[in-house]
Amino acid sequence: MAGLTLASPSAERGVYSPWRETWRRFSRHKLAVVSLFLLLILILAVVVGPFIWRVKINDIDIVAGMQGPSLSHPFGTDDLGQDILARMIYGGRISLAVGLAAMLVSVFIGTLVGALAGMSRGALGHGLMWLTDLFLSLPQLPLLLLLIYLFRDGLKQVFGPEGGIFILIVLVIGGLRWMPVARLVRAQFLSIREKEFVEAARALGASPVRQVVKHILPNALGPVIIAGTIDVAAAIIAESTLSFLGLGFPPDTPTWGRLLYDAKDFLDIGPHWALFPGGAIFIAVVAINFIGDGLRDALDARRVI
């Protein structure tokens, strides 16, 4: 858009901070706004829920097993008669937390390694890429078995049974998904590093760190955000696949992934048991991805909307 003209009659815009500009462009993306709203509702429901819906998560009542949604059990009951809504609320906190935390871990490590590899010209770059290849070929499961076996007791003492496992799962899922992000960031850095405006910054005496933070990283953010949002979905599903294989959280922690896993055999008897957690995962993932889309468009200055 053209700059200001003294006499130009269009409204006086005033200086606006980049973040208000980002929000203005972000709000252009209708679906992203709706998704942000949806995600907030989900988070709110999961955090505030237990204070409203007082039912305990493991009240076993065999007679009331496998009942569809009813007034007393809005989401129905599972085969042991436990209330699915209460379990969804309790498990939701963990699933969302695992999803987001694992994504942050993988994006943070990935960006760090990618930036270092991208900026370095010599051995460090090769070394980091070797490390990426190594992690890419590490099989997730035995590593998980090993890590659980090595760290579970230590973490349990410090953070309590559930906290310990939570950190372990987040580190493992996050710690094994950063490689694609690292490779993406490195590719971006290799191309942006050559661009004129970075050379200009260098010419102005900007230190490598400043170049990265101020100039290169904001331009490399687009694909990283996309990879990040895909990672949230992958993390929530990875947690459920861990339950599929029986690893991960202790059996009585009803994360969405475990609910789905327990319900998969009863799909034809009580579809409600699988559909609610499946639906919750779907909504969370779709919301996060649309937000990712919106963010990428908002932050990518070149894209005229």
Binder to another protein among 170, 260, 291, 295 (CB under 8 A)? Answer: 260
* 172 and 189 Cβ atoms separated by less than 8 Å: no
Sole binder of another protein in the list 28, 195, 210, 214 (CB under 8 A): 28
At closest approach, how far in Å is the CB of 132 from another protein? 9
Spatial separation of the C-alpha atoms in residues 81 and 302, rounded to whole Å: 55
| Binding of another protein by 265 (CB under 8 A) | yes
Q: Which amino acid is at 115?
A: A
Tokens describing residue 120? 């370095």
Q: How far is the CB of 202 from another protein (least distance, A)?
A: 21
Q: Is 286 in the site for another protein (CB under 8 A)?
A: yes
| DSSP H/E element including 240 | helix 217-244
Q: Residues 16, 19, 130, 197: which binds another protein (CB under 8 A)? A: 130
99 binds another protein (CB under 8 A): no
> Least separation, in Å, of the C-beta of 97 and another protein?
17
**The one segment of 37-45, 110-118, 127-135, 198-206 that binds another protein by CB under 8 A:** 127-135
Say whether residue 251 binds another protein (CB under 8 A): yes
For residue 134, the one-letter residue type is L
CB of 260 to another protein, least distance (A): 6
Choice between 15 and 305, CB closer to another protein: 305
Complex with another protein: residue 187 or 201, whichever CB lies closer: 187
- Residues 229-248 binding another protein (CB under 8 A) are 230, 233-234, 237, 240-241, 244-247
Please give the C-alpha separations between residue 147 and each of 139, 142, 249, in angstroms, as whole numbers. Answer: 13, 8, 14
Which residues in the 170-199 window bind another protein by CB under 8 A? 180, 183, 187
Asked whether position 155 contacts another protein by CB under 8 A, the answer is no
48 binds another protein (CB under 8 A): no
Q: Which of residues 58-77 bind another protein (CB under 8 A)?
A: 58-60, 62, 65-66
Q: How many helices (H) and strands (E) does the chain have?
A: 11, 0
> Which residues make Cβ contacts (< 8 Å) with residue 283, sequence separation at least 6?
38, 42
The C-alpha atoms of residue 113 and residue 54 are separated, in whole angstroms, by 45
Least distance in angstroms from the C-beta of 131 to another protein: 10
Per CB under 8 A, 124 contacts another protein? no
Sorted by sequence, the CB contacts under 8 Å of residue 254 that are 6+ apart come out as 57, 82, 87, 88, 90, 91
34 exposure class (CB count in 10 Å sphere: 0-12, 13-18, 19+): middle
CB-based contacts of 33: which residues, under 8 Å, 6+ apart?
Answer: 26, 27, 294
> Site map for another protein, 134-153, x if CB under 8 A?
x-xxxx-xxx-xx--xx--x
Q: Which is nearer to another protein, 142 or 205 (CB)?
A: 142
- For position 220 contacting another protein by CB under 8 A, the verdict is no
In the complex, minimum distance from the CB of residue 38 to another protein, in angstroms, rounded to a whole number: 13
Structure tokens at 150: 């090595």
- Which of 229, 200, 233, 228 has its CA nearest to residue 214? 200
* 9 touches another protein (CB under 8 A): yes
